[in-house]
């Protein structure tokens, strides 16, 4: 598992090992890596829940000396406006994390709206097969569960290709393993997917 190899030129952060870099998020990492060249010292970062967007934002803000505003669409607009202006004056980056970019979240303050229109938006894409496999292994390890390679190979093509889908799958595996007092196996994975409604229970003996 290639956990974190962020190409930032600063000392490693305490949580850095928890973020996985893959083809699904590599364009975003390259963008963050070259923050000093941004024409606008701000970026709007979007992505689904459980995508690691807040963790990545914290790592980046700590390394760059910038500022992070999470759930920006629910944040005070005046505060965002002043943070955006301060970022330009200090030449230190501002990361705004949101579910969707403007204009999907309505901005009432005209001066802020014009600034965010000029702000680049980067999205954490849903995981590809490689990242899904690494996430399953990582989340299982975090729960003290050993995920054998055959289990991961079985799960990846069958689960929902999303961060939330991966998390729900590992949660179901964890629950079944605890209830049955057993380790992770492909038969257990079949039962977990059946419980989630991903496969039909009649196919459990496949």
Domain termination site, one of 78, 107, 124: 124
Residue-averaged pLDDT of the chain: 86
CB neighbourhood size of 87 (10 A): 21
pLDDT of residue 9: 46
Render pLDDT for 12-53 as a digit per residue (tens, 0 to 9).
444 555 677 777 788 888 999 999 999 999 999 998 878 888
Q: CB of 75 within 8 A of CB of 101? A: no
Backbone angles phi, psi at 26, to 5 degrees: -60, -40
Nearest-angstrom CA–CA distance, 7 and 100: 26
| Domain identity same for 136 and 196 | yes
What domain range includes position 49? Answer: 16-124
The CATH number of whichever domain residue 159 belongs to comes to 1.10.8
Output the 3-class SS for the chain: CCECCCCCCCCCCCCHHHCECCCCCHHHHHHHHCHHHCCCCEEEEEECCCCCHHHHHHHHHHHHCCEEECCHHHCCHHHHHHHHHHHHHHCCCEEEEECCCCCCCCCCCHHHHHHHHCCCEEEECCCCHHHHHHHHHHHHHHCCCCCCHHHHHHHCCCCCCCHHHHHHHHHHHHHHHHHHCCCCCHHHHHHHHHHCCCCCHHHCCC
| Domain identity same for 77 and 139 | no
pLDDT of residue 15: 52
Residues of the chain with pLDDT under 50: 1-14, 204-206
Domain termination site, one of 71, 90, 124: 124
| Domain identity same for 134 and 159 | yes
24 contacts: CB under 8 Å, gap ≥ 6: 124, 125, 126, 127, 128, 131
Domain count, the chain: 2
The CATH number of whichever domain residue 88 belongs to comes to 3.40.50.300
Nearest-angstrom CA–CA distance, 192 and 136: 14
């Amino acid at each position: 598992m290639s956990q974190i190899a962020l190409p930032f030129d600063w000392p490693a952060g305490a949580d850095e090992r928890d973020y996985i870099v893959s083809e699904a998020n590599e364009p975003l990492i390259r963008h963050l890596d070259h923050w000093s060249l941004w024409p606008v010292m701000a970026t709007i970062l979007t992505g689904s829940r459980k995508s690691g967007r807040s963790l990545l934002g914290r790592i980046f803000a700590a390394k760059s000396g910038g500022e992070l505003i999470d759930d920006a669409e629910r944040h005070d607009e005046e505060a965002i406006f002043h943070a955006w202006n301060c970022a330009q004056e200090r030449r230190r980056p501002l990361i705004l994390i949101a579910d969707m970019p403007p204009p999907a979240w309505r901005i009432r303050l005209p001066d802020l709206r014009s600034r965010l229109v000029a702000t680049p938006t980067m999205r954490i894409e849903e995981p590809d097969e490689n990242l899904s496999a690494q996430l399953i292994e990582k989340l299982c390890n975090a729960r003290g569960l050993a995920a054998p390679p055959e289990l991961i190979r079985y799960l990846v093509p069958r689960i929902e290709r999303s961060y939330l889908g991966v998390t729900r799958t590992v949660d179901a595996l964890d629950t079944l393993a605890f209830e049955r007092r057993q380790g992770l196996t492909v038969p257990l994975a079949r039962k977990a997917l059946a419980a989630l409604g991903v496969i039909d229970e009649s196919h459990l003996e496949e």
